[in-house]
Structure 1
């Protein structure tokens, strides 16, 4: 079954409205080590704060805005209006869920994999018999994780503003150490997603240049649903992620 175009993943994000230590509401600052990410703003207003090779930047967010950023970019979503809502397009479907995300915790946490794992863990629904208790515990853990990431981010932001992008080197090195053991297992996500689609396109182009188009006979339409039940707590807000592995073809009329 073909994956979503480009081997990407798509999710619907409601950005956290919890205020952080600096008074700004929003998500947990973090970076991705191998995946680019894009946003389409659906509702509300805010900003995306970033730390990258360009230094510190603030990009306004409003309905209709499209932006994206490359691996290594520290990004922090700021929910200015309280109702910031995005569609998120993530490169390399499956990689972020497998660990391609590193939060901007203080250096002492980033240096200790066990401490990092404890700070990042969110309880599972199955840990609770009561749905309200589960939701409260998950939200509390997500907020504590966000607050710790903001603590490290604010310190890092000041260093970047004072020293330039070179101040990100320590974070990037810590991120590589944290994902190194996981990265070997990421190949299958890339092979079955972006690589497989690129190879299929190469074959289609070669066939068309040769005057054939057998793949056109395999034309199909697919649809996918977001999982039922409550939204889950992501790094930047509550999420519904479309189940692309559960996509199904649309049947035509007979």
Structure 2
């Protein structure tokens, strides 16, 4: 078995929403969207919400243990903490978010300048007070843009959200060439393996069952500063 990804070659992490208070009096994460990945929250503890901006307008979905909420590409989402909210995040197309398939809701002037965006989004490589301060500044800047987008949607004006989508697509355009091979080696390859197995089984060939096995992974990094909160990450070959 050269490749043994998680089912469907998904990405997985554990997140605890940031406890930092934002300018609107809400504790939580950095609002952002994904351009090619559906994301799911599996709530394992605590209480909170996810605030979303989409073609359906502004919404807030309550979160508590046992709830699963997921959102498709283009949905701006902001994790909100009330009690000690703990979530297992399932991410489509493992490898793409790590390669840049996420854009923060920074104000338009930042989004329009790739260098300014990169500077605002970057965090120090080493964890510590400097990284925490940078993560908090990043979150606050994203909340600033999010609140402007939300106010427009609530008033019935969808133009700023459409403009944000346009700006987000322009920011990631230079990265698309590196996304395709990651997708082919991950999610597409996983689906193609299933197709090959079904074809083999239909022909009476069950030889792939002899390649069965078990893999175990533990977090490769704990407590990192993710987009939504403190994040325990995994590195799983083939996914």
Output aligned runs, 1:124-203, within 5 Å: 124-125=125-126, 134-203=127-196
> Aligned-pair RMSD on alpha carbons?
1.4
| SS class of match (1:155) | helix
Deviations 1:106-157 (A, max 9, x none): 10110011110111110111xxxxxxxx511111000000000000000000
Q: 1:211 aligns with which of 200, 204, 215?
A: 204
Of structures 1 and 2, the larger Rg is shown by 1
Q: TM-score, normalised by structure 1?
A: 0.90
Which residue matches 1:76?
Answer: 78
Instruction: Tell me which of the two structures has the higher relative contact order, counting C-alpha pairs closer than 8 angstroms and 6 or more residues apart.
Output: 2
CA displacement at 1:166 relative to structure 2: 4.6
Aligned residues: 237
CA distance in structure 1 between the aligned counterparts of 2:86 and 2:99, rounded to whole angstroms: 24
CA displacement at 1:164 relative to structure 2: 4.8
Q: TM-score, normalised by structure 2?
A: 0.95
Which residue matches 1:245?
Answer: 237
Output aligned runs, 1:28-47, within 5 Å: 28-47=30-49
Extract structure 1 runs of 4+ deviating beyond 3 A.
Answer: 164-167
Long gaps (5+) in structure 1:
126-133, 248-254
Which residue matches 1:129?
Answer: none
CA distance in structure 1 between the aligned counterparts of 2:109 and 2:179, rounded to whole angstroms: 27
Could you tell me whether the CA contact under 8 Å between 1:51 and 1:165 is conserved in 2? no
CA distance in structure 2 between the aligned counterparts of 1:210 and 1:162, rounded to whole angstroms: 59
